[in-house]
Structure formats: structure tokens, C-alpha cells
Structure 1
Amino acid sequence: MTGLLVVTAVPAEAEAIRAGLTDPTTTVLPVGVGPAVAAATTARLLVLAEAAGRPYQGVVSAGVAGGFTGRVAVGATVLGSASVAADLGAESPAGFIPVDELGMPADWLGGGTTLAADPGLLARLRAALPAATVGPVLTVSTVTGTAASTDALRRRHPDAVAEAMEGYGVAVAAAQANLPFAELRTVSNPIGPRDRDAWRMREALAALTTAAAALT
């Protein structure tokens, strides 16, 4: 029997999840960094599984993320209530315009720039991870690294709790396959001016191993 497909960006994240996984029907695979390769590779995996007669029952984008200071702590676990294409749009003198406000039909955008997590899958994850922070997770192609860009994101997405690079792409692939989707992240660093010394990757990967037991 095939269960969840859990996709990460890099092998280290996949290894951390496998170390804590308790469900043998869950498949964990790294698919690459960024929304484009994550979407394309996830879609290919879903098509291959369906063609083999072993379709997955749902898709989870998992890995480490940056967290908004004051909303989630470094080392904490985050469940995405939605995955948001935060930098897909246009600049203007008045500020950033999300692409779904530019007059394009929603079906051109894979359902819009905000894709909600599946309610049933999210509820199961919340029950298994009661200490997790729940809120929108932003997907960006360029990781935020200045105070100005951090403040701009905070203003545009006042409820967002974290930032990563693959969730929205994986969500689009899951939506195209009509499969439940959720996003699970652990926080390795605060979002803001780039400071590698402030990153706690080891702690975030350890938290990912602990959270992996929820992926059933």
C-alpha cells in the first residue's frame, strides 16, 4: 500500500525525516531547491506512481524554513495553513502587486497564489503535533536577507509564520493531481538580514526528525 509522498528540497532534510519515520508506507524523497524544480519533480513522481497502479494518498512538502521573529521561534515546528507564492507578481510605484491581482484567470495560476492546506490532512498533523505553530508559509525564489525586504513581507503577509522555497510549487503539483496537500517546516533561522552564524540547522533537522512521526 502507498501512503503519503513527502518531498524535501535536499537530501539532509529527507534523511532527517526518515530517521524519525514510523509509517513504512510513507515515501520521502528530495526533489530540489526552489518552486519550479519542486513542482516539476513532484508532478513526475505522482504521475509515475499513478501509472504503476500505486498512487499516493497525499503530498507533504517538508523541510527547514526561516521563521518570522515574534511569530515562531528558531527550532520550532510549523504547519502551513496555506502555501503562498509570495514573490510571484509585479512591481509598481505603489508597491508589489500579486499576480492574481493582475487580471489573470485563476486557472492560469494553478488556483491562485495562495493554496490552502487540505483541511483533513492539516487536522491530522495538528493533532499529532499540538505544539506546532499554524499559519501561512511563504514560498520565495529569493530568500529574504535584508531588513527592508523582511518588513515588506510582514506588511503584505501579516499572518505568515515562515518562509521557504518549495511549498507552493509542491502544492500546485498536488492540486493538479487532485491530492491532499500540507506543508511541514522546522525553523532554522529568523527571517531578516542574512547572518549564517544565527542559523541553527542542526536543531532544525533534529526537530524535523521528531516531527516525522506525524507523517502517517
Structure 2
Amino acid sequence: MNFLGHRRVLVVTAVEPERQAVLRGLSGAGVAAESAVMVEAGGVGSAAAAAATARVLALGRFDAVLSAGIGGGIGVPIGGTTVATASIAADLGADSPDGFIGLDELGFGTATLATDPELVAAVTAAVPHVATGPVLTVSTVTGTLAGTRDLTARYPDAVAEAMEGFGVATAAAQAGVPFVELRTISNPVGPRDRDAWRIGDALEGLSEAFTCLAKLTP
């Protein structure tokens, strides 16, 4: 059985509720996850996500890797779905009196990893009303107006913020496996208002997205 045109796919979420949402979406379309897809809750943050992804990739053959979960939307409404054209480690760099200096500018490597164009095309074709653009990976979720202004000024094309994508992307890139990131939106990026978050709606959207993806299975 194939999934997204690949024999075997690894889906990495941060936490168990996201993993269960993905599994519900797959089972809702009649896909037995173990036959085509392995879904792993790798932990919160880029380091945990990278370590978990690398561990699983070392144990078996996979043809594609998806970082999946919920996140904050940048110009994308709550309940919306985003697919990354690149995963960017938005706060990997150095602070300075003149502002943030990114890893690329420092000359120590890159903080941007492009996603696989074929996977992006497949996901956007399968899931309705997807917003595409860079998805930012941060270690500290943005929660102030000043932080939001700084972030969006540096990354004006970004569509979402989360905490794991760049870590999953790094492990996939080092293993030579195609990668993409999918996020459903639980809250807008901006001043922190926990009461306005809609985590349940975002998890439901995650399930629906994977039901759509599963329907691509031959």
C-alpha cells in the first residue's frame, strides 16, 4: 500500500494528542497506519523532534517524512491548514544592539531547509484551502506585539509558527529523505491570549487533513 505515492511514510508530531488526531484521520479513511504510515510523537521542541526523527529513520526504510501538528497562524485564520514551502529556525542566531542576526548571516550554516516540492504539491492538491509559505520553528512561542512585529518583519512570507519542523527537517535532510511540514492553526501569532486558543478545532482540522491525504492512497 502507498501513501502520498510513497511506500512508507514517517509522520512526526510533538505530543500524543496530535499523534492521535493523525491516526483518527487515517483510520477515518480506512488506512491502517502500520501498513503505510508510522506516526511518532517525538516531543516538544526542535531538539527532541530531530532526535526522535533520526532514531526512527535509523531503524527502518522510509520514503518521506512529514512534520505534522498544530501551530500559530500568521495571516491564516484559526482552523486553517498550512503547508510549508520551507522550515525556518527563526530564532537560531545571535542577538545584537542592531537586532537579530540569523545563522545564515553569521556564516555558520543555514536556518532554512526547503521542503520537497512534490510532497508540497501532493498535500496541497489533496487538502482543501491550504495556505503555503515558510513555517517558522521557534524555541519560545511568540506572545507579544513587539515580538510579532519583529518576526513578521524578518519573515514576511511566513504562514505559521511552531516548535518542531526545522528539527524534523534536519534529520530528514541528513538521512536523504524527502520532507514536508503541515500545520493546522489553533491561534493567531500575537499577544498571548490563551483563552482564545482553539486547540480542539485545530486537532480536528489535523484529522480532516490526514483523511484527505489518506484518500490519495492507491
Q: Same fold (TM over 0.5)?
A: yes
2:46 is equivalent to residue 40 of structure 1: no
- Counterpart check, 1:61 vs 2:59: no
TM-score, length of structure 1 as denominator length: 0.91
Q: Which residue of 2 aligns with 1:31?
A: 42
Q: CA deviation at 1:88?
A: 0.2
The CA deviation string for residues 25-64 of structure 1, in whole angstroms up to 9 with x for no partner, is 1111100000001001100100011xxxxx0110000000
Match of 1:94, SS state, is coil
Runs of 4+ in 1 over 2 A off after TM superposition: none
> C-alpha separation between the residues in 2 aligned to 1:103 and 1:29?
33
Provide the residue aligned with 2:19 in structure 1.
14
Give the corresponding residue for 2:4: none
The alignment's C-alpha RMSD in Å is 1.1
Identity %: 58
Paired residue for 1:200? 198
Out of 99, 118, 140, the position equivalent to 1:142 is 140
Which letter maps to 1:67? G
Partner SS state of residue 93, structure 1: coil
Query: Given the alignment, which residue of 157, 160, 169 partners 2:158?
Result: 160
The residue type paired with residue 199 of structure 1 is W
2:102 matched to 1:98? yes
Is 1:88 the counterpart of 2:99? The answer is no
- Amino acid across the alignment from 2:57: L
Q: Post-superposition shift, 1:93? A: 1.3
- The residue that corresponds to 1:109 in the other structure is none
Residues in 2 aligned to 1:26 and 1:81: alpha-carbon distance in whole angstroms: 22
Unaligned runs of 5+ in 1: 50-54, 107-111
How far does residue 130 in structure 1 lie from its aligned partner after superposition? 3.5
Find out whether 1:78 has 2:82 as its counterpart. Answer: yes
Residue 10 of structure 1: CA displacement? 0.2
**Residue 112 (structure 2) pairs with residue 114 (structure 1):** yes
- Quick one: distance in 2 between partners of 1:35 and 1:139? 7
Cα distance in 2, alignment partners of residues 102 and 196 from structure 1 = 35
Give 3-state SS (helix, strand or coil) of 1:189's partner. strand
Unaligned runs of 5+ in 2: 2-6
> 1:103 deviation in Å?
2.1
How many residues are matched?
A: 203
Q: Look up the SS of the partner of 1:158 in the other structure.
A: coil
Structure 2 counterpart of 1:162, one-letter code: A
Q: Look up the SS of the partner of 1:160 in the other structure.
A: coil
Distance 1:189 1:34 in 2: 18
Once the two structures are superposed, what CA deviation does each residue of 1:151-209 show, in whole Å capped at 9, x if it has no partner?
A: 10010000001000000000000000000000000000011111111100110000000
AA at the equivalent of 2:65 = V
